[in-house]
């Protein structure tokens, strides 16, 4: 299932589906390492997106599937990790189910999905 979505306005390529399970931040990085090892969609430079990159996918109103994201994306990934951190070590996440972003501890108890991206930073 190597489906991708190419965003022409940003020049980014996104996983259409992302992870099928929620995971803590450490496991999210392991997930990315596995994607790159397996050369998902033929590439080996997949990464967590920045907060700005993920927010660029957010829609102002809920779309099909009751998420604030275009229905071209898999609706499973309701909340996704980003690569951006606050100064206190908490990572930012985007919540497509409620249409906002927040930060969370990266310990084993907090679990979100991964939607990998590749392209410019």
Task: Tell me the pLDDT tens digit for each residue of 67-100.
Answer: 999 999 999 999 999 999 987 889 999 999 999 9
CA distance linking residue 93 with residue 79, whole number of Å: 7
pLDDT given for residue 1 in this prediction: 60
Task: Tell me the pLDDT tens digit for each residue of 16-38.
Answer: 999 999 999 999 999 999 999 99
Q: Which helix (H) or strand (E) holds 31?
A: helix 25-37
For the chain, what percent of residues have pLDDT higher than 70? Answer: 98
pLDDT given for residue 121 in this prediction: 59
pLDDT, averaged across the chain: 93
DSSP SS3 for 90: coil
């Amino acid at each position: 299932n190597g489906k991708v979505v190419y965003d022409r306005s940003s020049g980014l390529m996104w996983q259409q589906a992302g992870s099928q399970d929620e995971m803590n931040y450490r496991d999210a990085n392991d997930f990315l390492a596995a994607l790159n090892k397996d050369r998902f969609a033929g590439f080996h430079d997949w990464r967590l997106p920045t907060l700005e990159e993920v927010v660029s996918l957010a829609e102002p109103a809920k779309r099909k599937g009751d998420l604030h994201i275009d229905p071209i994306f898999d609706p499973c990934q309701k909340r996704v990790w980003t690569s951006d951190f606050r100064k206190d070590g908490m990572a930012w996440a985007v919540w497509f189910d409620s249409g906002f972003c927040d930060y969370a501890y990266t310990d084993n108890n907090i679990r979100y999905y991964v939607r990998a991206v590749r392209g410019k930073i």
